[in-house]
């Protein structure tokens, strides 16, 4: 087992987004949004969970029983913004299982684990929380930004070690 530092995770994530854009711009948009705000796949995929509040902010009501998140348009993928505004979902023909296959094929190290559990695309959420902490956000602020109801849930994203078996 080898612990992976945040800089390496960020490099993996950014390289993945760059590579996937060459193959599938729709999946790239979903993954990019996951990375930009630490969202789960289904939170991006289901557009009826999104609502534009004004010219600057969008509201995301997560599928999981978490708190509503307010997202600045600066932190949103342009394709997602366009779909929300036009009420047309081009993500609908993209399945999580198919997206996961692409992740495993393209991600530099698809064998990442946290507490003996493979993290796969959830690595974006973990990296997002860890990057917020690195930027000086408090644990409570990160909990709110992630939309988590409990601090212990947010702390799992902030403080858990990411490691690889290869």
CA distance linking residue 114 with residue 156, whole number of Å: 9
Give the residue among 109, 122, 120 at the shortest CA–CA distance from 44: 122
* Confidence tier at 51 by pLDDT (50, 70, 90): very high
* Confidence tier at 1 by pLDDT (50, 70, 90): confident
Q: Is 69 helix (H, G, I), strand (E, B) or coil?
A: strand
Structural domain including 88 reads: 2-164
CATH assignment at residue 145: 1.10.443.10
What's the total number of domains in the chain?
1
Give the residue among 42, 75, 134 at the shortest CA–CA distance from 142: 134
Q: What is the pTM of this model?
A: 0.94
Q: Is 17 helix (H, G, I), strand (E, B) or coil?
A: helix
Chain segment 13-27, per-residue pLDDT in tens: 999 999 999 999 999
Chain segment 65-108, per-residue pLDDT in tens: 889 999 999 999 999 999 999 999 999 999 999 999 999 999 99
Residues 6+ apart with CB under 8 A from 31: 16, 17, 20, 99, 103, 121, 124
């Amino acid at each position: 087992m080898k612990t992976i530092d945040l800089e390496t995770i960020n490099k993996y994530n950014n390289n993945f987004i760059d590579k996937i854009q060459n193959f599938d711009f729709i999946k790239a948009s979903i993954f990019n949004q996951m990375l930009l705000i630490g969202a789960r796949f289904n939170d991006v995929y289901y557009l009826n969970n999104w609502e534009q509040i004004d010219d600057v902010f969008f509201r995301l009501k997560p599928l999981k029983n978490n708190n509503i998140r307010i997202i600045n348009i600066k932190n949103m993928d342009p394709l997602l913004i366009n779909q929300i505004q036009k009420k047309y979902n081009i993500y609908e023909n993209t399945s999580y299982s198919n997206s996961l296959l692409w992740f495993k094929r393209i991600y530099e190290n698809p064998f990442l684990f946290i507490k003996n559990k493979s993290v796969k695309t959830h690595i974006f959420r973990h990296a997002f929380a860890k990057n917020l902490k690195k930027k000086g956000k408090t644990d409570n602020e990160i909990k709110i930004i992630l939309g988590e109801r409990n601090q212990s849930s947010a702390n799992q994203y902030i403080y858990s070690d990411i490691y690889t078996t290869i």
